[in-house]
Structure 1
């Protein structure tokens, strides 16, 4: 199974990060420049507080090491592109979500190797400097390069990109589902013995990230629509990049098991958020229509 992962995961990560790049434009960077304090605060919390919470969860939970590494790995990843889809469906600020996902992905080229060396290499007794270089190389090839290529394609072929946006969303979702299924079916025995622990950790981590998103929005005094966007953005991590580091650097698939269960739990919760948001919007529109 590891050989199949080694072949497909880097390719899948490249494609998914290319799609992230096609969503970025000059307008997104202008949006960041127009609200530097808010964006800086949001990105800083993603880079520092989220991994910090993951580390505390690992230290006090007594979870098996593969699950702990999985939690730490997913926590240092940037937001995943599927957060943009969740945000649109929940009537959040899609432009803000796209900008955050894209900028966070570029910053991850610097932040992820540092965090990986600090948090993960020590738990696995790996050399921090060599581990840093391996992670940085993988991210340069399969995160930074495809994002930049996607931005270039968007700049040169804007109409084509806009025409295929829905298809890109579908590819992203199919790719994530493929990673989840592969991780689950390759570790059925481990899943049987640690299933409840995985579910509990995934649920707690998801709810903590959503709460952190709402708290961040309140501290930064964001509008309710933007607050909803941050609440969605924080728990949705980049599963493809987590899979890439697990397979290409750590050379193990069991660390992906938490990421897979986490994605399933998170998807269920986000579905409830979407249904609630759409119902609330529909109810308000009916009240407004009756009032008129």
Structure 2
């Protein structure tokens, strides 16, 4: 349709019909702009290898079960925000929204909601990834207490993400600081109680590694377990005898003492 014809057609419409035409145009423009935004964001995230970074996380597996992916969901969220803003302005053009004050509050609130949802989603992905990375790093430490550390890291990341999201939604900063302080106290105090054996093993392991009362290949006897030292780390000493491997926490080595057997 030529531009002059379009102007003439638009000018022949009533005010209500003009508002409807503008609203439809805004919605269609929002759909197109939202789709373009989602495409651009997805390309950027893939360029930064985010799809590879989140591979294997529980969030990614859940997204794939739903026929999507973490990168696609983040991109779609950005596109949805663009379309939502366009929809609000379309409703404003139609006069559906009650007042200018309400419209202003809604326009101010929408970005905060978007950021809050984005922070929670990114927090879920980051928490899953942190749990995997920490768990991989601690896999060689075969102590029961160690299995709790990846979970604690995941919960901590999620907790911080939720606090940031709540701050975007206008929750009182003082209350958030109290919650953060309470969580920090719980992590350090209660965590210290839960991991006291692990911490004592670490302290003993550092002492043993510095003083070297025995080394790999020595035959030792610790707490009734006798064998050849196969491996030593900060937390555990591994002793093998006749195909059986004993995992002895270093705190026990320091407490019970290690007898090195010398061949005569």
**TM-score range for the pair, normalised by the shorter chain length:** under 0.3
TM, length-normalised to structure 1? 0.24
Greater RCO (CA < 8 Å, at least 6 residues apart): 1
Which entry has the higher C-alpha Rg, 1 or 2? Answer: 2
Higher helix residue share: 1
Higher strand residue share: 2
